[in-house]
Amino acid sequence: MRTDDDQHGLKSAHAFDRSDKSAVYRAIETRRDVRDQFLPDPIPDDLVMRLLKAAHAAPSVGFMQPWNFTVVTDVSIRQRAWEAFSRANAEAVDMFPQDRQALYRSLKLEGIRKAPLSICVTCDPTRGGDVVLGRTHNPRMDVYSTVCAVQNLWLAARAEGIGVGWVSIFHDADIRELLQIPSHIEIVAWLCLGRVDALYSEPELALRGWRQRLPLEDLVFRDSWGAR
């Protein structure tokens, strides 16, 4: 006999067993932004699809699913993307104080050329129509939803032993022209993906002295801003 819950598509929400919970938290805690440690081995198509399915399972405001994923394996396209990054990266150096510039230059950011594939994640703000449930008073909710898709992909990749690096240093127009992205589509992330032999035990920027993780207790308020 079907229950009312069955009729409405509801299923049990019991907590995972201990091993499953441990795996989820391990993926979260050991996820890293990979910049230079990619191996050249290609990623099988079925594995790429598993990662994209994980991304596509992300929550989205109004269930608008505003994301698209442009998978880039063409070496010439990735080379041109790296050139766009390289130009912007040279500009970025001068934006930091002089005492930080040498450390910035020492950070290896070679993922676009070293990783066997890239995925450009974009957001289509028109997908849900003019009025989207949940976005009526915050038009940026479509982009926030797309970032959830990025995080889903990243965690699934960690579980699969695939490294991911998020490249954000480029002029939007360069990537838009390179991938022929329509003007109304927002570029959210250029992700580099590839197998890795090892991951840093802590975020690389922390180990390299760029920034340290903030204490959680300093970031948690109760009931009002600043209240502990």
The answer to the question of residue 117 being in a domain is yes
Question: Rounded distance, CA 104 to CA 98, Å?
Answer: 10
pTM for the model stands at 0.93
Are 112 and 85 in contact by the 8 Å Cβ rule? The answer is yes
Q: Is residue 225 part of a domain?
A: no
Contact 189, 120 (CB under 8 A): yes
Q: Residue 47 has which token pair?
A: 């594995």
Residue (of 55, 163, 185, 56) closest to 118 by Cα position? 163
Residue 7 in any domain: the answer is: no
Q: How far is CA 215 from the centre of its chain?
A: 23
In-domain check, residue 171: yes
Pairing of strands 186-195, 162-167: antiparallel
227 part of a folded domain: no
CATH code of the domain containing 150: 3.40.109.10
Residue 75 to residue 117: CA distance in whole angstroms? 9
Structural domain count, the chain? 1
Burial of 99: CB neighbours in 10 Å, binned 0-12, 13-18, 19+: exposed
Domain that holds residue 213: 33-218
Per-residue pLDDT of the chain (228 residues; tens, 9 = 90+): 455 556 678 988 999 999 999 999 999 999 999 988 899 999 999 999 999 999 999 999 999 999 999 999 999 999 999 999 999 999 999 999 999 999 988 887 778 999 999 999 999 999 999 999 999 999 999 999 999 999 999 999 999 999 999 999 999 999 999 999 999 999 999 999 999 999 999 999 999 999 999 999 999 999 999 999
Between vectors from CA 209 to CA 203 and to CA 214, what angle results, nearest 5°?
60
